[in-house]
Structure 1
Amino acid sequence: MFSIYILTYNEELDIAACIESAMVSDDIIVVDSCSRDRTVEIASQYPVRVIEHPFESHGQQRTWMLENIPAKYEWAYILEADERMTPELFQECCQVIQQSEHVGYYAAERVMFMDRWIKHSTQFPRYQLRLLQLGKVWFTDYGHTEREVCEGSTGFLQETYPHYTCGKGMSRWIEKHNRYSTDEAKETLRQLQSGQVNWRNLFWGKTEVERRHALKDLSLRLPLRPLVRWFYMYFILGGWRDGEAGFAWCTLQGFYEYLIVLKVKELKRQQTSATPTPPKPTVPKPIKQTADQTVVR
């Protein structure tokens, strides 16, 4: 058995279904980022623990959760409110933690959009670290999301989980990704100014995660990024095979990239305007002398 953490913020439309899918565990902990809707009220109706903690960033929230909220078991699974635990995934998690070969396990998401699994343009299988041994895994920030830091080796689960990325409506998706693009722009600018592409991982990375991280760093440096991403997702990855939903998904992702590009340019302008222009040195004018003048200095 393992504990299940559920991360929430204004998730009144998703939290009930998420908790009900997680009821396969007898230790469910809802970590809420001070929601302003009925998320906490709805979650409190279930036999779960509900803890509120102000949100700073995705990486910091996860690390704070793992370090400060005691779990019943040595292992834990991290769910977000728009994701679901499945019986098959739960059984596989129980099996791998008995073997204890690794300190963390990645699971692949199935992105559900417009009532359809967007299998092709989402780079499936796209893995996220979800099952972890407490005290062995932490998280750091990367753009609007996080990256894991593991004290030991990691493995991959065969079962997948559904991710209802637009379950709260298109307006909510746009509002959320507008916020995300601000964080992504800051990380993009930092990477462009001080980071570099890990070419070795890009071509010879041992796992999908290593290759994806390197590809992400490379994509930040490509010209016409929004168009490149749309073309890559729709034609190369095969988003056209996902029908109308696939076209809409690829277009939204291209729009998201365009927001990031615009905000990076805005940040650069702000940095330039905030840098004071050094004053020009004052050069004293030469003093003309005539033969019958005495200059006193």
Structure 2
Amino acid sequence: MLSIYILTYNEELDIAACIESAMQSDDIIVVDSCSSDRTVEIARRYPVRIVQHEFESHGRQRTWMLENIPPKNEWVYILEADERMTPELFAECEQAIQNPNCIGYYVAERVIFMNRWIRRSTQYPRYQLRLFCHGKVWFTDYGHTEREVCDGATGFLKETYPHYTCSKGLSRWIEKHNRYSTDEAKETLYQLENGTVNWQSLFFGSSEVERRRALKDLSLRLPARPLLRFLYMYFILGGCWDGQAGLAWCVLQMFYEYLILLKAWEIRDITQPSLETKALESKVI
């Protein structure tokens, strides 16, 4: 058996379906970031544990919950409110945890947008570390999201999980990605200053995770990033075959990339004034 952590913040539209999809587990823990809607009220209708903790960042929230909310079982799975656990995935998780050679497993998401699986332009299969042995994995911040630190070997599961990325409407999606773009802009500037492109992982990475992360490091250094991202997703990955939903998805991702670029310029100009600005200030003085 495995424990399931469910991360929430104002998820009254999703939390019931999410919990019900995870009911095969005998230990469900809702970690709520102090929601202001009916998330906690709805979650209390189910046999789950509920713990609230003020949100700082994705990486810190995950690390805090792992350190402060001990699970009933040795193995845990992290689920977000707009995602679902499937019976097939749960069964594979139960089989996977019998393997003594791995401490964690990556699982691919199926992005559901406008009631359609966006298979091509989302880089499917795109993996996230979700199943792992408690005490063997921690998380650090990277941009708006997190990256895992693993104390041992990891593997990949075949089953996938649905991710309803726009289940609460386009307004919520845009609001959320407006916040995300600020963190991504800061990470972009940090990586341009301190990071490098791992060319070996880009071309010869042993997994999709290694290749994708190297590709992101490269993309930060390319000109016209928003346009390149659209062309890559829509034509090279095949988003044009995902119909109207695929076009909308690619346009939104281009818009998101442009927000990141604009905010990076804004942050850089505020924190690092140009020589011309400094010269003007010195003349005034």
| AA aligned opposite 1:28 | I
Q: Secondary structure at the match of 2:162?
A: strand
How do 1:172-191 residues align onto structure 2 when only pairs under 5 Å count? 172-191=172-191
Alignment of 1:176-215 (within 5 A): 176-215=176-215
- Residue deviations 1:162-200 (CA, integer Å, cap 9, x gap): 000000000000000000000000000100111111111
SS in 1 for 2:98: helix
Runs of 4+ aligned structure 1 residues displaced above 3 Å come to 273-280
CA distance in 1, matches of 2:119, 2:253: 15
Of all paired residues, the percent bearing the same amino acid is: 74
**Which residue of 2 is the match for residue 19 of structure 1?**
19
Partner residue in 1 for 2:128 = 128
Where structure 2 has 5 or more consecutive residues not aligned to the other structure, the ranges are none
Q: What's 2:236 paired with? A: 236
In 2, the alpha carbon distance for the partners of 1:190 and 1:44 equals 41
- Return the offset for 1:86: 0.2
Shift of 1:101: 2.1
Q: CA deviation at 1:8?
A: 0.4
The DSSP-based 3-state class of the residue aligned with 1:138 is strand
TM-score (norm 1): 0.92
| Structure 1 Cα separation of the partners of residues 252 and 147 of structure 2 | 24
1:157 aligns with 2:160: no
Question: SS of 2:272's equivalent?
Answer: helix
- d(CA) in 2 for partners of 1:209 and 1:277? 43
- Kindly name which structure, 1 or 2, has the bigger radius of gyration based on alpha carbons: 1
Superposed counterparts of 1:3-42, under 5 Å: 3-42=3-42
Worse-matched range after superposition: 190-199 or 118-127: 190-199
What is aligned with 2:169?
A: 169
Deviation at 1:277, TM superposition (A): 5.0
Q: Given residue 140 of structure 1, which amino acid in structure 2 is its aligned partner?
A: T
Which letter does structure 1 place at the counterpart of 2:48? V
TM-score normalised by L of structure 2: 0.96
* Alpha-carbon separation, structure 2, partners of 1:23 and 1:12: 18
Distance 1:78 1:274, change over 3 A: farther
- Residues 72/237 of structure 1: CA separation in 2 closer, same or farther (3 Å cut): same
Q: Identify the residue that residue 283 of structure 1 maps to in structure 2.
A: none
1:45-97 alpha-carbon deviations (Å, 9 max, x no partner)? 11000000011110010011111101000000000000000000000000010
Count of aligned pairs: 280
> Aligned residue for 1:285?
none
